[in-house]
């Protein structure tokens, strides 16, 4: 299995388990679960615990590319009724220690809740030279696919 396939399996499993768990406590309700995994040089990267770990991770990612794999699952009564995995690839620009310290001063601790330690929709966009793939998956949820599935399930009007 390739690292990207492993990341997809991991994200999919986490999303499905979240949806299943909550749906068991809310009978008859449609529940959405989601999760994201960062794959870098064959390694799956977790969220950072503190600012020092964020600095270490961002220094490792600087000047290199990585993938974000995000999965979503819909469950009803403990059973998965739909799932999807989306992916995006990001090329981080070369980042100086001064820039990273400034960035972390402004963005911590909020970014510690995000795998990769950035919010692409905010200041985190400054970290990157380019990106390809599903923008919403990079943000953490393959939104267009989720919206389509919600319409198919009758949870949203067509």
The 3-state secondary structure of 11-66, one letter per residue: HHHHHHHHHHHHHHCCCCCEEEEEEEEEEECCEEECCCCCHHHHHHHHHHHCCCEE
Tell me, what's the pLDDT at 25?
Answer: 97
Tell me, what's the pLDDT at 4?
Answer: 85
The predicted-structure confidence for 27-69, as pLDDT tens digits, reads as follows 999 999 999 999 999 999 989 999 999 999 999 999 999 999 9
Cis previous bond, 109, omega within 30: yes
Q: Average model confidence (pLDDT) for the chain?
A: 96
Tell me, what's the pLDDT at 1?
Answer: 86
* C-alpha distances out from residue 83 to 33, 35, 49, 96, 143, Å: 9, 12, 29, 39, 12
| Domain hosting residue 27, numbered range | 3-152
We report the CATH number of the domain holding residue 58 as: 3.90.950.10
Mean pLDDT of the region 128-146: 97
The predicted-structure confidence for 91-122, as pLDDT tens digits, reads as follows 999 999 999 999 999 999 999 999 999 999 99
Task: Supply the angle between the helices 51-61 and 97-107 in degrees, to the nearest 10.
Answer: 140
pLDDT at 87 over 90: yes
Residue 157 in any domain: the answer is no
Residue 40 in any domain: the answer is yes
Q: Please give the backbone phi and psi of residue 34, each rounded to the nearest 5 degrees, phi first.
A: -150, 155
Tell me, what's the pLDDT at 158?
Answer: 87
Residue in 35, 50, 77, 94 annotated catalytic = 35
Residue 114 in any domain: the answer is yes
pLDDT at 3 over 90: no
35 is catalytic: yes
The total number of structural domains in the chain stands at 1
Residue 34 in any domain: the answer is yes
User: Residue 74 — very low, low, confident or very high, per pLDDT cuts 50/70/90?
Assistant: very high
């Amino acid at each position: 299995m390739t690292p990207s396939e492993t990341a997809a399996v991991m994200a999919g499993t986490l999303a499905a388990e979240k949806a299943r768990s909550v749906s068991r406590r809310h009978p008859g309700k449609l529940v959405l679960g989601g999760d994201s995994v960062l794959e870098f040089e064959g390694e799956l990267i977790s969220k950072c615990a503190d600012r020092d770990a964020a600095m270490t991770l961002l220094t490792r990612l600087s000047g290199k590319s990585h993938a974000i794999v995000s999965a979503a699952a819909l469950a009803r009564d403990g059973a998965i009724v739909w799932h999807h995995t989306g992916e995006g690839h990001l090329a981080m620009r070369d980042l100086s220690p001064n820039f990273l310290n400034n960035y972390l001063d402004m963005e911590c601790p909020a970014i510690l809740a995000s795998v990769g330690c950035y919010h692409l929709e905010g200041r985190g966009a400054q970290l990157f030279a380019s990106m390809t793939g599903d923008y919403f998956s990079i943000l953490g949820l393959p939104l267009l696919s989720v919206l389509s599935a919600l319409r198919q399930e009758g949870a949203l009007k067509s």
